[in-house]
Amino acid sequence: MTDTLELARELISLKSVTPADAGCQALIAARLAAVGFRIEPIRCGEVENLWARRGESAPLVCFAGHTDVVPAGPLEAWHSDPFVPTERAGRLYGRGAADMKTSLAAFVTAIEAFVAERPRHGGSIALLLTSDEEGPAVDGTARVVERLRARGESIDYCIVGEPTSVAKLGDTVKNGRRGSLTGRLVVKGRQGHVAYPHLARNPVHLAAPALAELAAVEWDRGNEYFPPTTWQISNVHAGTGAANVIPGEMEVLFNFRFSTASTPESLERRVREVLDRHGLDYAIEWTLGASPFLTPRGTLVAVLTEAIREAAGVTPEVSTTGGTSDGRFIATIAREVVEFGPVNESIHQVDEHVEVASIEPLRRAYLGALRRLLP
Local confidence pLDDT in tens for the 375 residues of the chain: 899 999 999 999 999 999 999 999 999 999 999 999 999 999 999 999 999 999 999 999 999 999 999 999 999 999 999 999 999 999 999 999 999 999 999 999 999 999 999 999 999 999 999 999 999 999 999 999 999 999 999 999 999 999 999 999 999 999 999 999 999 999 999 999 999 999 999 999 999 999 999 999 999 999 988 999 999 999 999 999 999 999 999 999 999 999 999 999 999 999 999 999 999 999 999 999 898 999 888 999 999 999 999 999 999 999 998 888 999 999 999 999 999 999 999 999 999 999 999 999 999 999 999 999 998
- In this prediction, residue 137 carries a pLDDT of 93
pLDDT at 372 (0 to 100): 98
Contact criterion met (CB below 8 Å) for 262 and 291: no
- Among the options 48, 68, 99, 355, which is catalytic? 68
Q: How many CA atoms lie within 13 A of 51 on its CB side?
A: 19
| Phi–psi pair at 165, nearest 5 degrees | -70, 145
Q: What is the pTM of this model?
A: 0.89
pLDDT at res. 323: 84
**What's the gap between Cα 299 and its chain centre?**
23
Helices (H), the chain: 3-12, 24-33, 102-117, 141-150, 203-216, 264-277, 299-312, 327-330, 359-373
68 is catalytic: yes
Handedness of CA 129, 307, 291, 274 (dihedral sign): negative
Q: Exactly one of 99, 112, 133, 326 is catalytic; which is it?
A: 133
Task: Name 121's bridge partners.
Answer: none
Q: What is the pLDDT of residue 358?
A: 98
R_g (Cα) of the chain, nearest Å: 24
Spatial CB neighbours of 336, under 8 Å, sequence gap ≥ 6: 156, 157, 158, 175, 295, 296, 298, 299, 300, 301
